[in-house]
Structure 1
Amino acid sequence: MARFNAALVDPLLFHFRLRLRQRFIKVRSRKMTSKEKKESPPLGEANSFLSPSEDVAPSNHLHRRLNNRQIQLIAAGGSIGTALFISIGGGLAKGGPGNLLITFTLYSCVLALVNNSIAEMSTYMPVAGGFISLAGHWVDDALGFVAGWNFFFYEALIIPFEIVALTSVIAFWDSNTLNPGPTAGVCTAVIAAYALINILAVGFYGEAEFWLSGGKVLLIFILFAFTFVTMCGGNPDHDAYGFRHFANGTFTTYITSGSLGHLEGFLSTLYTAAFTIVGPEYISMVSAEAKNPSVYIKNAFKTVYYRFCIFFVFSALAVGIVCAHNDPKLTEIYFGEGGAGNAASSPYVIAMENLSISGLPHVVNFLVFTSIFSAGNTYCYAATRALYSLALAGRAPHFLTYVNSRGIPIWCFCVTMLFSFLSYLQCANGSAEVLNWLVNIVTGGAIINFLVISITFINYYKACEAQGVDRKTRPYYGYFQPYGAYIALFIQTLICLTYGYNAFRPWSTEAFFQNYSMQLVAVVFFIGWKFGKGTRYIRPKEVDLIWERPEIDAYEASITDPLTGFWEEMGHLVGIRRKKRTSSA
């Protein structure tokens, strides 16, 4: 921003301005008259202390209303979806339990490096649009343009994926749901439910997502308990099967035999991990709506490492324990005429049926239903905010910057929900086929998100070095940098270029565009915006590391509510509050 150019050169000028803003906040904290209260922006509104520009009206601000527990559960909700309970079975069938566990562990480590990068940037600069805005402001406006539209398309296309999966899950109880009429009815009901939740305002969204995400976490621990109890002999057959399925075909071949087949089995599970394991990008997207971003967003990023280990690595281990990679039901689904996406295709449900356990499959199916519904709700939210960020930056039509009185970018939400109508395609083509091509398309988009984050951090790191900024003064300090960002960038690039290799053996135009559409769109968008707008790469010495930080500091200095931890807020939810200490006279 132009008003901070001088501060980039003179750090003393920056600190002087910051002290002025903090003094301004202290003055505002005194008792105001009724007239002043009317004229002052409400505390809790994002960017309340930003000077309005000609492009963005003062009313176009997101509300900072998300508390600690809501952010933590929203982050979990964004990372736990259909793939973790259902699609993971495809990796097991194609690569075996050993490959599944190894690749999920390796890819979790890669995304831990990505999380380490985005955590430092987003806790320091929690702006609307998250990593999308950071890419455009710290690297190249063309990169921000690509990041924004890629993230929007990625999130928007997963919405119909989740709706299609919901239809298949309901079919576990009533197969008639797969008929065109009932299928269309389910799609309509789910779309309407998402609309109601997302337009009730951020506070209602956060509370709804909190409870839905809680159901996901409950489901995971139920499945872990099921795995442990049954492997030790706690099942109707009293069969302590232990790690039997690991002993029989730990590493299997896929497509071909021999060493090449083993390699393809490994790659198939790696690509399953690339579609399944996500998370850091969602925290970045909600950073502008956190009550206390420097603390609450930092806490959310720190727990990502535990979630990767518990939710993804342990899930890969549990799936390999309870279900054989060559189970007839599993192979029928992925290599025969079955339909991936039905709850019965979950390796957990297959294991329960094989052990003749009654009742539990229905409980698991219900929790899978809530999990998928919650994931779709999260994608609606994230896609809407991505489009809003694009509009604020002038990369999307200006009318999309409108935010209603509830703090909802209503037009952005309407555009996002148009993609949900793709779910009606299953009425003609069947759920399995629609799920397959949606998975292939969006996997490329997920990888591009992480590529952008790594590229942005590398330039941010160089900027800190060039401008003499001590990164240890940031709210979150990323260790092993910039090596971690370079490693993540290299591995993600390899996956991005190779995960659709089957389109070339033999050549398939349909498979090529399914696997590489997002990559092609990203290249076209980058070249088109760069040459059309004449953007240029921002050199490290020119990167604006001050940007909106004074406004953020001013906002945080104005917060009067005490900081609360996750478990403290959970206690408040059930009526448990700490007693205030009273000093003795």
Structure 2
Amino acid sequence: MAETEKNVYSGDAEADVSSGDFQIVHSDSNLKRRLGGKEVQLFAIGGAIGTSVFLTMGTWLPRGGPAGLFIGYTLWCLNVWCVNECHAEMAVYAPVPSCFITFTSYWVDEALAFAQSWAFFLCQALLVPAEITALHVMISFWTDKMPIEATVIICLALYAALNCIDAELFGIAEFYLSIGKVFLIFLLFSFTFFTMVGCNPIGDAYGFRYWNTPGPFAEYLSTGSLGAFWGTVSCMSLASFAVCGPEYISSVVGETKSPRRLLPSCYSSFKWRLLFFFIGSALAIGIVIPYDDPSLAAFISGDASGGGTSKASPYTIAMERMHIPGLPHLINAIMLTSVFSCGNGVLFAASRALFVMGQYGRAPKIFAKTTKRGIPVYAVGMCILLGLLAMMGVSDASYTVLKYFIDFCTICTQFNYSCVCITYAHFYWNLKKQGISRDSLPYKARFQPYASYIGMTCGTLAMLFLGFDIIKPFDIKWFFIDYTLLGVFPILVILVKVIKKTRYVKIGTADLGLGGMVKTIDDYEHTMVPHPEGWVERFFSGMWEWKDLLRLVNKRKD
């Protein structure tokens, strides 16, 4: 930082900078920095990509049509990219545990951070039973004799083992499970491309036929252009739940080795994950089957068995139409590991959020305790107990229970995204007021502060429009499911302000050094000696470049 610029560091902090075991003593954190770039990158993929990409997206195709689905996901991905840029600049600057909530507390208001922490924790914790429920539904592809109690207990036992033994074991598990997801996505994309140009058993080069017949847009809630508009809005509503990722990277920055070196590539490559995994999937699903496909309609209505499994996937329906046997079983098997990986990832994120909440008094202090290896075992145990909510599927249809969890988690996610963007706007203007150039930061986000304004606006609109389709006819049950938390969070902010007498941090007065933690991390980065990485590790950590491939090819020639 130039001498003419104000020093952002303040306060005192200590650090144990022994390689790989760095901890922020100032913040009483016992979490160890054991995760490498590839684990962080694939954790972000593992936590974000599940049934929403492979299966649930297809159930919204009849609402928006291929164009409505594609446009809805594209527009929402642009918004999530804006949120990612807010995460990136702040998290790389100060990679502390549950960083985005800590930033809200230091730079905006502890009351808002309190509500945000509970919103993020509830979202991740409720996703654990949601993913277990989805996994049980997918097992029914092969048999309906598996009791849901057995599925829940087995999954939770495996999650406990992966999350309680060592962070490195968790990272290794996510590494291999996420590779399976990437393989499946490229397999489905390859299937879409080769079959649409005629490489299929029936020789049907269908191309973009279904964009013409029955058409690019479906009609939802109304007819004509208004119906097409509501269909696209409905697809955006689904995307507001399905498209995620930056919060998972930010959840593990406090356990990442050499974060200032690894995190920029993890955040900057996020746009490619949005493009290929989410927008690419929305495009492919609209190509392989028409939105009025009778088989898809039967699965959605419940007239055909197998809804929620790969039988209801648009890809499987297309495979059966083209007489391609065997692949549906492979797809369901990989999707099963994909859903398991999602549950494992969100449990990790939830436990770390609860750990920091315990540190700052937003939850009982017992959740801030860790083992000697830095595992917040009590926080993990609470998240495991909340996973038992998947037992709701015993008395209610599993697919209906899954929808309950999806709507609750959508509200929590968008509230958290809005808070992140509000916090970034405060960070941006505090830098301005305190005379600190953003060029001096380790990562400078693009399109700021406008990206933060877009993110907070779209997050608010997403919460308001979540239940737009239950107004007519009015459904009281879904009204409370969709909008209860929308009222709870503002009330929680007000209650905390009154009880704890928290104060809003005025622009220009914020402690950008986080009580000395930023200085501690800066010292650690100068001391930390990075471990050497091969080209495979660099590829999966997001640091691989084309010149590495050329170097590898030339080496093999020699």
Question: Structure 1-normalised TM-score?
Answer: 0.88
What secondary structure is seen at the aligned counterpart in 2 of 1:160?
helix
> Within 1, Cα distance between the matches of 2:519 and 2:85?
24
Contact 1:93 1:334 in 2 (8 A): no
> Within 2, Cα distance between the matches of 1:142 and 1:565?
45
> Within 2, Cα distance between the matches of 1:105 and 1:419?
33
> Within 2, Cα distance between the matches of 1:534 and 1:15?
26
The answer as to 2:165 corresponding to 1:200 is yes
1:269 match: 235
Task: Give how far 1:374 is off.
Answer: 0.4
- Aligned pairs for 1:386-401 (under 5 A) are 386-401=353-368
Contact 2:260 2:442 in 1 (8 A): yes
The answer as to 2:64 corresponding to 1:95 is yes
Task: Give how far 1:155 is off.
Answer: 0.6
Task: Give how far 1:102 is off.
Answer: 0.7
Contact 2:55 2:314 in 1 (8 A): yes
2:555 match: none
> Within 2, Cα distance between the matches of 1:42 and 1:402?
21
Task: Give how far 1:75 is off.
Answer: 1.2
> Within 2, Cα distance between the matches of 1:558 and 1:316?
45
The answer as to 2:442 corresponding to 1:469 is no
The answer as to 2:137 corresponding to 1:168 is yes
Q: Point out the more displaced range, 489-498 or 406-415.
A: 489-498
> Within 1, Cα distance between the matches of 2:149 and 2:7?
61
Match of 2:93 among 124, 134, 153: 124
Can you list the C-alpha shifts for 1:105-136, whole angstroms capped at 9, x where unaligned?
11111111111111000000111112111111
Can you list the C-alpha shifts for 1:153-195, whole angstroms capped at 9, x where unaligned?
0011111111111111111111333xxxx22111211111111
Task: Give how far 1:508 is off.
Answer: 2.2
Task: Give how far 1:246 is off.
Answer: 1.2
> Within 2, Cα distance between the matches of 1:120 and 1:190?
36
Q: 1:563 to 1:516 in 2, by over 3 A?
A: farther
In the alignment, structure 2 segments of 5+ residues that lack a partner are 542-547, 553-558
Q: 1:484 to 1:51 in 2, by over 3 A?
A: closer
Task: Give how far 1:563 is off.
Answer: 6.0
The letter for the 2-side match of 1:188 is I
Match of 1:45 among 11, 16, 21: 21
> Within 2, Cα distance between the matches of 1:51 and 1:480?
33
1:4 match: none
Length, aligned pairs only? 537
- Aligned pairs for 1:353-364 (under 5 A) are 353-364=320-331
The answer as to 2:256 corresponding to 1:256 is no
1:434 match: 401
1:209 match: 174
> Within 2, Cα distance between the matches of 1:552 and 1:565?
26
Contact 1:69 1:566 in 2 (8 A): no
Q: 1:235 to 1:545 in 2, by over 3 A?
A: same
1:82 match: 51
The answer as to 2:282 corresponding to 1:316 is yes
Q: Point out the more displaced range, 281-290 or 539-548.
A: 539-548
> Within 2, Cα distance between the matches of 1:558 and 1:382?
28
2:545 match: none
Task: Give how far 1:152 is off.
Answer: 0.5
Contact 1:68 1:566 in 2 (8 A): no
Contact 2:8 2:511 in 1 (8 A): no
Q: 1:13 to 1:473 in 2, by over 3 A?
A: closer
What secondary structure is seen at the aligned counterpart in 2 of 1:413?
helix
- Aligned pairs for 1:213-362 (under 5 A) are 213-248=178-213, 249-337=215-303, 340-362=307-329
Can you list the C-alpha shifts for 1:22-74, whole angstroms capped at 9, x where unaligned?
xx99xxxxxxxxxxxxxx774423425x347xxx4xxx410101111111111
In the alignment, structure 1 segments of 5+ residues that lack a partner are 1-9, 26-39, 580-585
> Within 2, Cα distance between the matches of 1:386 and 1:445?
14
Can you list the C-alpha shifts for 1:258-315, whole angstroms capped at 9, x where unaligned?
3432222111111111111100111111111110111111110011011100111111
Q: Point out the more displaced range, 559-568 or 509-518.
A: 559-568
Contact 1:166 1:372 in 2 (8 A): yes
Can you list the C-alpha shifts for 1:211-258, whole angstroms capped at 9, x where unaligned?
111111111000001101111111111111111111122101013323
1:419 match: 386
Contact 1:157 1:420 in 2 (8 A): yes
1:29 match: none
1:514 match: 481
Task: Give how far 1:380 is off.
Answer: 0.5
> Within 2, Cα distance between the matches of 1:366 and 1:506?
39
Contact 1:322 1:351 in 2 (8 A): yes
What secondary structure is seen at the aligned counterpart in 2 of 1:64?
coil
2:332 match: 365
Contact 2:101 2:117 in 1 (8 A): yes
> Within 2, Cα distance between the matches of 1:571 and 1:134?
28
1:189 match: 154
The answer as to 2:375 corresponding to 1:408 is yes
Q: 1:51 to 1:140 in 2, by over 3 A?
A: closer
Q: 1:373 to 1:296 in 2, by over 3 A?
A: same
Task: Give how far 1:567 is off.
Answer: 3.5
1:33 match: none
1:490 match: 457
- Root-mean-square deviation (CA), in Å? 2.3
Match of 2:496 among 491, 514, 529: 529
Contact 1:86 1:343 in 2 (8 A): yes
Question: Structure 2-normalised TM-score?
Answer: 0.92
Stretches of 4+ moved more than 6 A in 1?
10-18
Contact 2:17 2:23 in 1 (8 A): no
> Within 2, Cα distance between the matches of 1:92 and 1:537?
44
> Within 1, Cα distance between the matches of 2:473 and 2:538?
56
What secondary structure is seen at the aligned counterpart in 2 of 1:541?
coil
> Within 2, Cα distance between the matches of 1:556 and 1:41?
9
> Within 2, Cα distance between the matches of 1:477 and 1:15?
18
The answer as to 2:452 corresponding to 1:481 is no
Contact 1:47 1:551 in 2 (8 A): no
Match of 1:538 among 505, 515, 518: 505
Can you list the C-alpha shifts for 1:317-342, whole angstroms capped at 9, x where unaligned?
11111121111121122245456422
> Within 2, Cα distance between the matches of 1:562 and 1:388?
28
> Within 2, Cα distance between the matches of 1:11 and 1:296?
26
What secondary structure is seen at the aligned counterpart in 1 of 2:395?
helix
- Higher radius of gyration, 1 or 2: 1
Contact 1:99 1:266 in 2 (8 A): yes
